[in-house]
Structure 1
Amino acid sequence: MFAELLTVENLGNLLMLCFLQAVLGFDNLLYISIESQRAPVAHQRSVRFWGIIIAVVLRVVLLFAMVNLIDALAEPFYVFDWEGVITGGVNFATVVFIFGGIFIIYTAVKEIAHMLTIDHLETDVQHKSGKSATQVVMLIVMMNLIFSFDSVLSAIAITDVFPVLALAILLSGAAMLLLADGVTAFLEKNRMYEVLGLFILLIVGVVLLGEAGQAAAHATHDKTMALHFFGYEVIPMSKTTFYFSVIVLFAVEILQSGYSRKLNAERHAHH
């Protein structure tokens, strides 16, 4: 059985899946790093560890369920037929993407608004410690599963060999465990990048809402199942566009930071 899995095709699929998990896991890791800072300082590292461990285990369970129930989950359970207002099908994936997108947008907007209203950094630290470690772990696990849904659907399209899929998920979980502390430490030392991270999460929320529009159509291979509002089809942002937007945001932030340092240096030189 084990020897049957060690084929060139399965190894190639495993490498492709690991790359896919790395690309799609960027926003997930960013959310974990930002959200873990809301827990009490003494528990933040353990929150990230247990949040990722529990989420990876549940992701494997989700994968097993989807491999066996993919046809049942794909079938739309409701079809809108209000011509000129809203048309298209709604399946399980549609609900997950809508819920996840709205929640991420709400979280990002709430945190950005908070950053605009704080008067002292001490106030901000107290705010970040306002949630219990258990609450933050639950949020990380829940959002990890929502992020996972898209990556699991993409992974199943590459191969349906469960051990290969599960191994790719376990390897991506190990990578997140290795990187989570470093990313969080970087955000804590460079607070301006946390704001940038929140804006990226805002875009992620919009991406998920766009995915919701095509979820039923992709699952059933029926273009008429795509959601339309007032005659306009809901089209998701491509991954290329998303990552290009992220690169542009980082480039603007780096250039702005360098320009600000140059201005401050000139002001000090004049004084």
Structure 2
Amino acid sequence: MDFFASMGQPEFWISLLTLTALEIVLGIDNVIFISIISNKLPIAERPKARNWGLILALIFRLGLLFTITWIITLTKPVFHLGFIQDKTGHALGISVKDLILMLGGLFLIAKSTNEMFHKLEVDTKEHDIKGRATLSGVIVQIILVDMVFSFDSILTAVGLVKEVSVMVIAVIISMAVMLAFAGRISNFVNKHPSLQVLALGFLIMIGTLLVAEGFHQKFDKGYLYFAMAFSLVIELINMRMRKKREKPIQLHGLGEEAVGDGLIKKL
């Protein structure tokens, strides 16, 4: 009864819209990673990997929401680093959450760097023959990365919203949006090699940010997402320009084409 009563309050819908938007923005990281990893599978298996990976990740994320009390305890330090001081001048305390962020960030950096190396230095056909990914392996990687982002996004959600029901609805909506658009985003990224390199650069940047957060270095993520959006817009403009350059240049009102410094009549 309390849940339905709260639905009649404006604060409920404001919190839901705010948190849903936040979860969708944070989910962009997952979609980028999924598009890169699932590309290693045969075309027929890619949708299955994306869907199962996101569905299992949703189950895991909902499970975390119902153990918020336990999650909060993960922020308590389990050991201290004497050679690093926090803002208060004491030894830096490292919690389970910090370790998860560090390991997740290092995994993203290593995986993205490895992918970029193979795209630039290794023969693609030879690499695909030797290192064909498996469906189960790709799904596991999707779940592992989503686990890292889940801890970060859920702890952020706890700071914004107190109602667990709002968090659950926001997570379900954001995952539904990811399921709906993951395929299109993945196909678009995979068709354009320059976007793949840009996406891998984003993942390296995000991984670095996660490691820094593990050491209690706080950054405004708005700057990060603004940089990503700005870089994406510039690359889309470059793609548009490259596409136009592929067409022959016609001089309006003339029956001749300019080639080099001279004019060559049309045959």
Superposition TM-score tier, normalisation by shorter sequence:
0.7 to 0.9
Q: CA deviation at 1:264?
A: 5.7
Q: Given the alignment, which residue of 95, 103, 110 partners 1:99?
A: 103
> Match of 2:53?
51
CA contact (8 A) 1:48 1:180 kept: yes
> Match of 1:225?
none
Q: Given the alignment, which residue of 12, 21, 31 partners 2:14?
A: 12
Q: CA deviation at 1:42?
A: 2.2
Q: Given the alignment, which residue of 102, 110, 117 partners 1:113?
A: 117
Within 2, Cα distance between the matches of 1:153 and 1:185? 31
SS in 2 for 1:81: strand
> Match of 1:192?
194
Aligned length: 248
Q: Which letter does structure 2 place at the counterpart of 1:270?
A: V
Please list every run of 5 or more consecutive structure 1 residues that lacks an aligned counterpart in the other structure: 215-234
Residues 216-237 of structure 1 show CA distances to partners (whole Å, capped at 9, x for unaligned) of xxxxxxxxxxxxxxxxxxx333
Q: Which letter does structure 2 place at the counterpart of 1:240?
A: G
CA contact (8 A) 2:75 2:98 kept: no
Residues 21-76 of structure 1 show CA distances to partners (whole Å, capped at 9, x for unaligned) of 111111111111211112233211111010000000100101212x2224422211
TM-score by length of 1: 0.82
> Match of 1:236?
218
> Match of 1:222?
none
1:269 to 1:21, Cα distance in 2 relative to 1, 3 A: farther
Q: Which structure has the greater CA radius of gyration? A: 2
Within 2, Cα distance between the matches of 1:69 and 1:133? 32
SS in 1 for 2:40: coil
| Richer in helix (by share) | 1
Within 2, Cα distance between the matches of 1:151 and 1:123? 39
Within 2, Cα distance between the matches of 1:131 and 1:200? 23
Q: Which letter does structure 1 place at the counterpart of 2:99?
A: V
Q: CA deviation at 1:149?
A: 1.2
> Match of 2:158?
156
CA contact (8 A) 2:84 2:92 kept: no
State the Cα RMSD in Å.
2.6
SS in 1 for 2:80: strand
1:108 to 1:162, Cα distance in 2 relative to 1, 3 A: same
CA contact (8 A) 2:31 2:186 kept: no
Within 2, Cα distance between the matches of 1:201 and 1:70? 25
Within 2, Cα distance between the matches of 1:55 and 1:11? 25
SS in 1 for 2:81: strand
Q: Which letter does structure 1 place at the counterpart of 2:80?
A: V
In the TM superposition, 1:21-32 aligns within 5 A as 21-32=23-34
> Match of 1:78?
79
CA contact (8 A) 1:40 1:132 kept: no
SS in 1 for 2:74: helix
CA contact (8 A) 2:35 2:190 kept: no
Q: CA deviation at 1:11?
A: 2.2
> Match of 2:229?
247
Q: CA deviation at 1:252?
A: 3.8
Q: Which moved more, 1:104-113 or 1:70-79?
A: 70-79
1:84 to 1:176, Cα distance in 2 relative to 1, 3 A: closer
1:270 to 2:262 alignment: no
Percent identical residues: 28
CA contact (8 A) 2:78 2:95 kept: yes
SS in 2 for 1:130: coil
Q: CA deviation at 1:124?
A: 5.9
Q: CA deviation at 1:261?
A: 5.0
